Structure 1
């Protein structure tokens, strides 16, 4: 977990324009994901001014400020340029006010811009900052993208997670992380997984060593991050353990505050795990669209029982 993001990182990752303050991009840090649109502050009301946030000026704020005198604008913008204000940001390609540039330069605050509409820009910045500033956990497993679903394969060491992921990659699916997955909660329903920087694009195969998936299979075989939609747990098969045969026993694993659906697959000699996991992903997608083979089977069974009882 990081508690701050430099303004330079923000500029680079969200493709912002730097109008002034290039020298202060590393110095200024963002510590909260919320964005401030300083409407009340422009009227002189600073009782609850969130000075630690990125200050976003859209069409409304800019138009209001232009109706003020130059002296009034300078007074307000100097009050807004606090010691911990990360940056001023102007949307829609609007040129920043001269008084904004002057106040920002005096306080060593960068002035940034974007051509995006204000609402879209606010969402972009917020999503990026939430992802960077969110609490992170490390989980043991392999994360792959199957048909657009993020599937995390878990299980004891040596059960065959990486080998299964390798076969899935050969079938055209994409690797996100092997061995260790960094996870964080994006919102109330979404968990995001990504590889630690040191393990990015790498896959460890016992007896072969570490392979670079992107170099061997191309850029289309890897992905930086994905939501975790399904957990597939691989467990060594034993005759005394009962496994779900009909798919009616729904499981879930809680990561942070989100319950992620989970299925357990027994590992046994001769089973093609890659094919089974592919089908598991397709079946999960079908269920999410309202098609449940287990319910169909149960309905057919009930009809058969009912018809036999009537004879």
Structure 2
């Protein structure tokens, strides 16, 4: 059953189990994205926050905290913090990538302007830090502030690596761990920390989020060459047009002959893209088995995510997190 046909998705099961907590998170997000003096802030933020996103990262924080037996109020603050960090990075990413579509809607930088997107993203980062300090837990603050730095570092690394044919899979993994997996792993880890979980469980939650985030990003990269706009929420081929060296392309280049390498140099490094180039890129990716190889890696990372959950207590939330790992790769299974 495909992504859009699934009637009982793991994230929907999580949302139902966490209905009360998510209601509190959404209320806190609405409250903290308000601005008395700059009405553009809630306008821009609401456009993205209320665009139908899955709220996957904050749900992972809530689920981790509840799975570890937490009964206090601060998992809500942490979940809102995670969503604010995520939203801020999306606003900044769309400016850097000059994107025109996000979650199936025009991007904020297209509807307003780059300056508004960057500054509102900065505002959300500031709000995130206000929220995380309210928990009064220095380790939580350390984890989330470190994740914010790693995310920014990953984005900068991608700037220098994305159009360099010398970029290999090790560099790609560093980029992915920065721009995607860092927030997944922080989201689950802080849930365990705020619950006072044993260290082996906190480590397990980190490992789960890390592996799930890597699988998630590889799938996203694959869908750019084989998904539909309705499924991925952006235009198919955007990564190619933006000259990003994602995993399938890196794999194809690694075994390219001289003529194929000349093609990749022209379209990626030099940015000289012509009509029919996307179709030619797809032909090369298939010829070298790059899409299948990247798909297999996504499956491996999803399996690692599921295995990481072993030290956590038996619970229906643990089962939902396990199923979530399968669901993330279902789109390319």
Structure 2 length-normalised TM: 0.22
Quick check: which one's strand share is greater?
1
Structure 1 length-normalised TM: 0.23
Pick 1 or 2: higher relative contact order, CA cutoff 8 A, min separation 6: 2
Quick check: which one's helix share is greater?
2
